[in-house]
Amino acid sequence: MIQQEHVEAGAETAEGGVDLGHLLMEHAADAYSLHFEPFPPIEWNPHLLEFQLAGITINMTPTKHLIYMVFAAAMVFLVMWRAGKRLEAQRAGENAPKGWANAVEGLVLWVRNDVAIGNIGPDGAKFAPYIMSLFFFILFCNLLGLVPWGATPTSNLAVTAALAALSLVVIEVSGMMKLGFGGYMRTIFPKVAGISGPGAVVLSVALGPIEFMGKLVKPIALCIRLFGNMTAGHFVILAMFGIIFLFGNIEYARWAIGGASALLVLAIMMLELIVAFVQAYVFTLITAVLIGIMQHEH
């Protein structure tokens, strides 16, 4: 996790210009501070909850991304709770669901039926709460980076790695519970068709490390894909803004450069809205597919 312990307001160089590298990292990197311009930054001690355990330094001090993760989780809870209450009131009055509550219900049913049950199978209903929680939590984390003074927790490699690790645990533990220990071990040491005797045993054991690495590579790919897409989008937006600062001193081209950069940023931010939904969908879909695969020994 990239930490910023000291951020200089304004990101100005000694010559009075704008340090674009500093501006990019200030927005994308994690920090022990919050910025709500034009108010002064809120900063806290980065070693506030640091302690030693068996000679290892453990720092539990909350960071900016952790705060926004908690905020995203709270927003998911409030949106679902309010939508449920409104749908319940509408149905009690024998009215058809409408408005944003109806839109939330449609999105929830889509994730449950098409993503969870559609890819896991008949047992998908019991995994639907996890799949839906994963989708909406990632979606809200992605969208928080597009609001003023916001930050994107999913642009933090530690966050995406934790989500991928949680999915790995769900995938493997659910597979072991479904197949039993013997059936689960067959997913690591598979039967080799057409070969019998000692040769089949040797080949099965030889395939074990490859199958085991395959189990680890899939969540790593989930982690890197989400992290890379959410980080790259912010860098592109801030780089487009940086063009204004780089060429703003050219008098005859100032307005043209500023207008073109603003239009490019607007277009990319519209694209980022789509990317936020797509990346939440892709992460959730692949998790559901991997859970479904582990429900069958073959």
Q: Is the dihedral of CA 214, 168, 52, 69 positive or negative?
A: positive
pLDDT value of position 111? 93
* pLDDT tens figures, 247-274: 766 666 777 777 788 888 888 888 889 9
Token couple for 165: 């690790």
pLDDT value of position 23? 60
Q: Is the pLDDT of residue 171 over 50?
A: yes
Q: Is the pLDDT of residue 186 over 50?
A: yes
pTM tops 0.75: yes
* pLDDT tens figures, 103-122: 888 999 999 999 999 999 88
Torsion angle (degrees, nearest 10) of CA 274, 81, 286, 64: 70
* pLDDT tens figures, 191-245: 776 676 677 788 888 888 898 998 899 999 999 999 998 888 878 877 777 777 7
Are the C-beta atoms of residues 35 and 149 closer than 8 Å to each other?
A: yes
Helix axes 198-247, 20-28, angle to 10 degrees: 130
If one compares 98 and 45, the residue with the highest pLDDT of the two is 45
pLDDT value of position 9? 40
The Cβ of residue 98 has, within 10 Å, a number of other Cβ atoms equal to 11
- Helix, strand, or coil here: 37? coil
Which residue ranges make up each domain of the chain? 3-294
DSSP state of 14: T
Query: Taking the CA of residue 171 as centre, how many other CA atoms within 13 Å lie in the half-sphere pointing to its CB?
Result: 23
Q: b/e per residue, 110-139, with b = 16+ CB within 10 A?
A: ebbeebbbbbbeeebeebbebbbbbbbbbb
Q: Is the pLDDT of residue 98 over 80?
A: no
Q: Is the pLDDT of residue 92 over 90?
A: no
DSSP string, 174-236: HHHHHHHHHHHHHTTS---TT--THHHHHHHHHHHHHHHHHHHHHHHHHHHHHHHHHHHHHHH
Q: Is the pLDDT of residue 15 over 70?
A: no
Averaged pLDDT of the chain: 83
CA 131/CA 128 separation, integer angstroms: 5
pLDDT-based confidence at 183, cuts 50/70/90?
Answer: confident
